[in-house]
Amino acid sequence: MTAGIGSSAPREDFVDKHRSQLIQRVSNIAPILDELLDKKVIDQEQYDKIRALPTSQDKMRELYSGPLKASAACKKIFYESLLANEIFLIEDLSKERSPARDNGEKNNKAQVLQDLKKSLAKLLEDFFQDLLDVFKALSNGLLKLFTNLLQNLAKVFESLAAYVVFPSCSGL
């Protein structure tokens, strides 16, 4: 069983096993450093040096390269501080993962992705069909409008032609 919440395995195993994830994912480092200082895991000089580092990752690396190498007791105190300040991360890292479960999740993710692709294809198909229908309606409306315009122009030309061809009749 993974060393974690409710586990009887030593907490230092958890700290060692999840070293890289803890370095990358611990974000609430200030209160952890405060507790380590209060419980004499680090001294004031180490505390100041670690606090001066620019990123949480750098701070965590410094903890691992120094104080957390010292003893199992230091790792236990560090773990307890993580529980108090990074409980969701500890819970996430504590979950056991089996290859069968991982394969099931991969298959499920693949199926979800396939379903999303199908849904997206259907949505795009419907969208473009609707767009085509709009263009057809517009073009039919424009065709009718253009036909009416031509008919009116023809009437105007007929009137003008009658006037131009037979100018003397206009005075009657």
Per-residue pLDDT of the chain (172 residues), as tens digits, is 344 444 434 466 889 899 999 999 999 899 999 999 999 999 999 999 999 999 999 999 999 998 888 788 889 999 999 999 998 999 889 886 545 555 666 677 788 888 787 887 787 787 778 877 887 888 777 878 878 888 887 787 777 766 665 555 555 5
Its CATH class, for the domain covering 11-94, is: mainly alpha
**Six-digit token pair at 68?**
């957390």
**Positive or negative CA dihedral for 51, 52, 56, 59?**
negative
Flag whether the pTM goes above 0.85: no
Alpha carbons 24 and 134: distance in angstroms, whole number:
52
